[in-house]
Structure 1
Amino acid sequence: MTAAAAAPAVPAPVLSLRFPLTPRRAEVARALLAYVAGLPLRSVDAQLLALLVAVRSAVTGTGHVTRAGLRSLQLGDRAAAVAALRGLGWEVPDALLGDDLEVPAAVTVSDWAQADGRPVDCSKTARAGVSSWMGGVLNTSPVAALAPPARLTALFLAAHASAEPESPDPLPDLLPGSCRSAVPDLLDSGFLADAAGGTYLLAPAVRHLAVALPRPRTPAWTPPAMDANDWRYWKDQRSPALRSHVDAVQHCALCAMPWEQVASAFTEAVQDPCRPSDNLRTAYGIWKRAHPDRGPQAAAFTVAFRAQHGHGPSIRQLCTGLGWEMWPPLRLLVVRRLLADGWLADTAPVPWTLRPGPAANAHGIALPRQRVPPTTRPTEERPLPR
């Protein structure tokens, strides 16, 4: 993996990096494979080239084929494959026949001049994801040295496999005959862990090329198992200072949260945060460079927020108020670093207690001190004379 691939410019969920073929992209890949399997093409070389063009042309009907894309196909007879596509009426330039493909060659699928003529409706993002997945399958070590029939077979099997580690999948019905005879080659190369009785199982080393399982949804917030009397009893058992803070949050007219949500935040146990992943640390580094004044901004925001609300902001309120739109794990890591650097302080695990920390105080960002009015200020006691 190159350095550019290891450090994506935009933070992305781990699942989409680990499994490039998301469920939506799998739909696109399978539709394009089915389309190519139905074309009147006899040679596997022509089918592979048609699939590459179909993937690149899925959005507009015209795709650009590069030298790297052609090299990944490892066609045995490129001229015959080009002639076969031209026989379908596709507009294939002569540049695809030479080895000097300095500029990507534009290939147009004539049947796709109108959007409703394409086998699938997909976005540019989905098309790019399928193209990347296709290159990943063809360039993976168990496939890279195989003949075209086995390479096309690997694409069909990866697109129709699930990520379940111990769940064999049936061979696709639309798998070309020339591909069925190449299944043993994929078993011998290590691409497949098993292939028998019309089923197959991807090897663990290439299982990430299968369609990703849908990410489980985060369950919606549910009220705590307590009623209003329980909540009042819980508050009565707390210290006066904590009780005052709870009431400030619960009765804040600006936040306007239901008491059940406030009760849940104060009574549920807070889990220790997990160690950030490499992807999360990379995303934080990118965000950090784009926000050099994050510390003073966060500290100043807590001062202004407390002046309006009478309590500190939550992590989400802090980031939203500052316009720091980000996914929740990154949001949590940002605040953790601000706390560690002293720009913020809190009274963990009590929620809504963010305030300026020691580093902010040193820069003059602090909560206003409670001053006693001069008329009620107690007189200073003087020591009795000896």
Structure 2
Amino acid sequence: MRFTEPDERTALREAVAAFTAGYGPRYYREKAKAGAYLSELWAEAGKLGYLGVNIPEEHGGGGGGIGDLAAVLEELSAGGCPTLMMVVSPAICGTVLARFGTDGQRRRWLPGIASGESILAFAITEPDAGSNAHNITTTARRDGGDWLLTGRKTFISGVDVADAVLVVGRTEDARTGRLKPALFIVPTDAPGFEARPIEMDLVSPDHQFGLFMDGVRLPGDALVGDPDSGLLQLFAGLNPERIMAASLALGSARHALDTAVGYARQREVWGRPIGAHQGLAHPLAQIKVEVELARLMTQKAAALYDAGDDAGAGEAANMAKYAAGEAAARAVDQAVQTLGGNGLASEYGLGAAIASSRLGRIAPVSREMVLNYVAQHSLGLPKSY
């Protein structure tokens, strides 16, 4: 049993950290306030191979695992440049297509995902379904050799920068007549596809959209993989999603903690640095402990997933996402408290981080649904919903 990462991943972390330092939190904040995406960072990261470390080598990627991609996102976030689209495009969509896509779908999309030249969004949440994916009503029906897709989605990230959206819908089972899950690749410029921005108080370069699909005509090969394996394909993307969300939260927690510690070392009151006072030192030390614990669980989840243990990875990924989300929210809160009035000054960026750190407790799965999962699957308690 090892509790240290391979030398190759350590080197990857160092390279990404150095790369991110060339952009930094000021770049991120300026883009977010302008309503623009991190286009320059994304393009350069793609050219350097950072966005595709988990994509198979034969499709232009690095041939690594989700643990490698998670390390990239953690370091980007720790450097002040978290980007939600890394969770979505290479992690969820890249994983699903690499594992289940047809040869044509892999050739069409994976090289671009790896290089950053193509971005895929992911659409599962619906206004009336919420956390209950079994209530999804977006449906596709056959029309000759094509599909006609109709439905609504909400809180879908990055549609404005995406070339296509991996949409979770339902098709009719020819044997039973019942609806079964299915995934479709939907170009964002397809007739009948409309994306409407959702106004958010969150200041972020990753924007949210509501999707409206009214009889969107798709070719037969828009269906991902085996039509009878939609549920399996869906859950294959959800564990990487949780691992990556945990990594984004961890990096953000590290960034907030580093900001607070740097300030506490330099800011002097009563003739000594404020970090010398236990009233500030102990809470910051506690955050450090919580961040390291969450990192261990995230690395465990990634190791289990990359080893092919989907069941074990499911439990660990949910726990990691919960722990990292809590650590990030607490880290930002304590960082603001440490800086006092400066904690809300734009110079430090912590005021905006209060809202974004809260996201880790809500999405991509709420802390309550994680606790439901652990209660039922880890503890064997009766299902409550």
Measured against the shorter chain, the TM-score band is under 0.3
Larger Rg: 1
**More strand as a share of residues:** 2
Higher normalized helix content (fraction of residues): 2
* TM-score, scaled to structure 2: 0.22
Report which structure shows greater RCO (CA 8 Å, sep ≥6). 2
